[in-house]
C-alpha cells in the first residue's frame, strides 16, 4: 500500500480538530476544496472512511483511532526537524502566549522581566482572554501556549491540545474593605449571611457546584460576562462579593483594598492549566518562559496557600516583602 503523504495527515488532523473543512482550510491556509481532496485521497489510500459527512463532519470510529496516531506522528516529525537545526536555533523572533486575567495580573510581569534579560531579542505577545478562546487559539496555531483554568476542558474543549496542571491556588471570598468579616481569616461560606455573589460566567459551573455541595445560601446573583477586573470595582464599593483565585488577589492581601477570606471546610482549589498544541512540541524559548512563570507563580502563590491553611498574617515572616508583587 502506498504510504500517506504528510500533507494528507496534516489536513486530516486539522479537519478532525476543527470539525469543519472550512475552518480547517482557514487554519492551514488552503482552499476548502484542497483540504477535502487531501482527506479523500487519504481515505482512498487507507481504504476506510474517516468522517461521516451527512449534516456535520463527525469522525468515524476509524477516524478516532487514526487521529491519535497521527498527532503523535506529527509531533515526532516536528521534534526530529527541530533536533536537526537545534544548534543553530536563534534566540530571536516572537513568542505568542495567552493567559487568563488571574495569571496576567499577578504573574506575567515578574516572569517577563526575567525573560527580557535572558532573551533581549525575542518579542513577547500576550493575549488575555477566557479559557475557551485561548484554547482555540492554541489549537489553531495562533498562540504558542496558554495558561487557562480547568472549566473549558471540562466542557470538552481539549481536542488537539496537550493539557497539564500548571498550578493550584486557593479561592478567596472578596468583599468590600468595610465588610464585617475578619480580613485573611478562613471562613465557611455557608455561615456568611446575606450573601450577594458576582459569578464569572466561565467559572460558574465550578462555583455553583461548590455552593450546592456545601449548602451555601445565596440571596442574589449577578452573572458577569466580562473580565472580573470590572466586577472587583463593584465589590470594593458595595455589598456584592465575589469568589476569586488567590493568585488574582495576591497583591491585594498586602494593600488591603478589599476584605479577603479563604474558603475553608473545605478549601476550594482553582487549577490552572498549561495548554499547548498536541501536534507541535514547545520551542526551547517557550519552555524557558514557562519555567519563569512557574517560579514566579510559586513565589506569589505561597502566601495565599499559607493563609488558606489557617496561618495568621501576623505570624508570617515578612510575607509581603518577598512573596508578593510590588508596585
* Between residues 287 and 132, the one the model is more confident about: 287
Please answer whether residues 242 and 113 qualify as being in contact, where contact means their C-beta atoms are separated by less than 8 angstroms.
Answer: no
CATH number for 198: 3.40.190.290
> Cα separations (Å) of 243 from 16, 33, 238?
37, 48, 15
Domain with residue 45: its CATH number is 1.10.10.10
Q: With cut-offs at 50, 70 and 90, classify the pLDDT of residue 90.
A: low
The predicted pLDDT at position 320 comes to 44
Indicate the helix (H) or strand (E) that contains 259.
strand 259-262
- φ/ψ (deg, to 5) at 266: -105, 170
Let me know if residue 262 belongs to a domain: yes
Q: Are 50 and 4 in contact (CB under 8 A)?
A: no
pLDDT at 318: 46
pLDDT at 158: 63
In a domain, 1, yes or no: no
Considering only CA atoms, which of 171, 170, 166 is closest in space to residue 293?
A: 166
End-of-domain residue from the set 86, 115, 149:
86
Q: Tell me: pLDDT of 314 over 70.
A: no
- Contacts (Cβ under 8 Å, ≥6 apart) of 259: 174, 175, 176, 177, 178, 179, 181, 183
Statement to judge: residues 234 and 188 lie in one domain: yes
Q: How do residues 174-223 score in pLDDT, each as one tens digit?
A: 999 999 999 999 999 999 999 999 998 878 888 999 999 999 999 999 99
Give residue-wise pLDDT tens across range 231-254: 899 999 999 999 999 999 988 887
Whole-number pLDDT of residue 319: 45
Q: 119 lies in which domain range?
A: 90-327
**Residue 85 in this model has a pLDDT that exceeds 80:** no
Q: What is the largest CA-CA distance in the chain?
A: 75
Q: What is the pLDDT of residue 89?
A: 57
pLDDT in tens, 257-297: 899 999 999 999 999 999 999 999 999 999 999 999 999 99
Q: Comparing C-alpha atoms, which of 138, 139, 145 is closest to residue 103? A: 145
CA distance 38 to 16: 13
Predicted pLDDT at 315: 55
Beta strand 269-277 with 161-175 is: antiparallel
Q: Given pLDDT bands bounded at 50, 70 and 90, which one contains residue 159?
A: confident
Query: What percent of the chain has a predicted confidence (pLDDT) above 90?
Result: 72
Residues 70 and 95 in one domain: no
Overall average pLDDT of the 130-154 stretch:
85
Residue 151 confidence (pLDDT): 64
Q: Cα separation of 277 and 227, whole Å?
A: 25
Looking at residue 55, the DSSP 8-state letter turns out to be S
Q: Which residues of 137-166 are buried (b: 16+ CB within 10 A; e: fewer)?
A: bbbbeebbbbbbbbbbbeeebbebbbbeeb
Whether the pLDDT of residue 131 is over 50: the answer is: yes
- Which three cell numbers, joined as nine digits, stand for 231? 466586577
In terms of pLDDT, which residue wins out, 327 or 163? 163
pLDDT given at position 157: 52
User: Is the pLDDT score of 325 beyond 80?
Assistant: no
pLDDT at 327: 40
Round to whole Å and give the CA distance between 170 and 18.
Answer: 34
Band (pLDDT 50/70/90 cuts) for residue 230 is confident
Q: Is the pLDDT higher at 87 or at 138?
A: 138
This model's pTM is above 0.95: no
* Cell numbers linked to 196: 450577594
- CB 67 within 8 Å of CB 13: yes
Q: Quick check: 167 pLDDT over 90?
A: yes
d(CA 218, CA 200): 15
Residues 75 and 181 in one domain: no
Instruction: Please determine, for residue 4, whether its predicted confidence score (pLDDT) is greater than 90.
Output: no
If asked whether residues 53 and 68 sit together in one domain, one would say yes
- Final residue in a domain of this structure, among 61, 86, 111: 86
**Residue 233 located in a structural domain:** yes
Same domain, 290 and 150: yes
CB atoms within 10 A of CB 252: 20
What three-state secondary structure class fits 37?
helix
Report the pLDDT averaged over residues 302-323: 71
Q: How is residue 185 written as a grid cell? A: 481569616
Tell me what the pLDDT averaged over the chain comes to: 88
Considering the domain architecture, whether residues 211 and 298 belong to the same structural domain is answered as yes
What is the bridge-based pairing of β-strands 220-224 and 122-128?
unpaired
Residue 247 and residue 146 in one domain: yes
Counted domains in the chain: 2
**The predicted structure's pLDDT at residue 326:** 44
Residues 67 and 111 in one domain: no
Residue with cell 518562559: 289
* Res 313: pLDDT: 65
Same domain (yes/no): 166, 45: no
Q: Given this model, what pLDDT does residue 71 score?
A: 94
Q: What would the pLDDT profile of 188-197 be if each residue is shown by its tens digit?
A: 999 999 999 9
> Residue 296: which of 324, 318, 268 has the closest Cα?
324
Q: Would you state the pLDDT for residue 200?
A: 87
Amino acid at each position: 500500500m502506498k504510504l500517506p503523504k504528510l500533507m494528507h495527515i496534516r489536513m486530516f488532523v486539522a479537519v478532525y480538530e476543527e470539525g469543519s473543512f472550512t475552518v480547517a482550510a482557514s487554519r492551514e491556509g488552503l482552499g476548502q476544496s484542497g483540504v477535502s481532496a487531501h482527506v479523500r485521497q487519504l481515505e482512498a489510500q487507507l481504504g476506510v472512511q474517516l468522517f461521516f459527512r451527512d449534516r456535520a463532519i463527525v469522525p468515524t470510529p476509524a477516524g478516532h483511532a487514526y487521529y491519535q496516531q497521527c498527532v503523535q506522528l506529527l509531533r515526532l516529525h516536528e521534534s526530529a526537524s527541530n533536533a536537526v537545526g537545534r544548534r543553530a536555533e536563534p534566540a530571536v523572533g516572537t513568542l505568542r502566549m495567552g493567559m487568563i486575567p488571574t495569571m496576567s495580573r499577578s504573574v506575567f510581569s515578574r516572569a517577563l522581566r526575567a525573560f527580557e534579560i535572558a532573551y533581549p531579542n525575542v518579542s513577547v505577545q500576550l493575549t488575555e482572554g477566557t479559557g475557551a478562546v485561548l484554547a482555540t487559539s492554541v489549537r489553531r496555531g495562533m498562540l504558542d501556549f496558554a495558561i487557562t483554568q480547568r472549566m473549558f476542558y471540562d466542557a470538552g474543549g481539549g481536542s488537539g491540545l496537550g493539557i497539564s496542571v500548571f498550578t493550584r491556588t486557593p479561592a478567596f471570598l472578596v468583599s468590600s474593605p468595610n465588610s464585617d468579616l475578619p480580613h485573611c481569616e478562613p471562613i465557611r461560606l455557608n455561615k456568611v449571611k446575606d450573601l450577594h455573589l458576582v459569578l464569572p460566567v466561565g467559572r460558574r459551573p465550578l462555583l455553583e457546584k461548590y455552593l450546592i455541595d456545601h449548602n451555601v445560601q445565596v440571596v442574589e446573583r449577578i452573572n458577569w460576562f466580562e473580565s472580573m477586573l470590572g466586577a472587583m470595582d463593584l465589590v470594593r464599593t458595595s455589598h456584592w462579593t465575589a469568589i476569586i483565585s488567590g493568585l488574582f488577589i495576591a497583591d491585594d492581601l498586602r494593600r488591603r483594598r478589599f476584605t479577603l477570606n479563604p474558603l475553608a471546610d473545605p478549601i476550594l482549589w482553582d487549577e490552572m492549566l498549561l495548554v499547548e498544541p498536541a501536534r507541535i512540541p514547545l520551542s526551547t524559548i517557550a519552555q524557558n518562559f514557562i519555567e519563569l512563570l512557574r517560579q514566579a507563580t510559586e513565589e506569589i502563590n505561597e502566601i495565599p496557600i499559607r493563609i488558606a491553611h489557617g496561618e495568621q498574617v501576623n505570624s508570617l515572616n515578612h510575607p509581603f516583602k518577598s512573596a508578593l508583587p510590588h508596585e
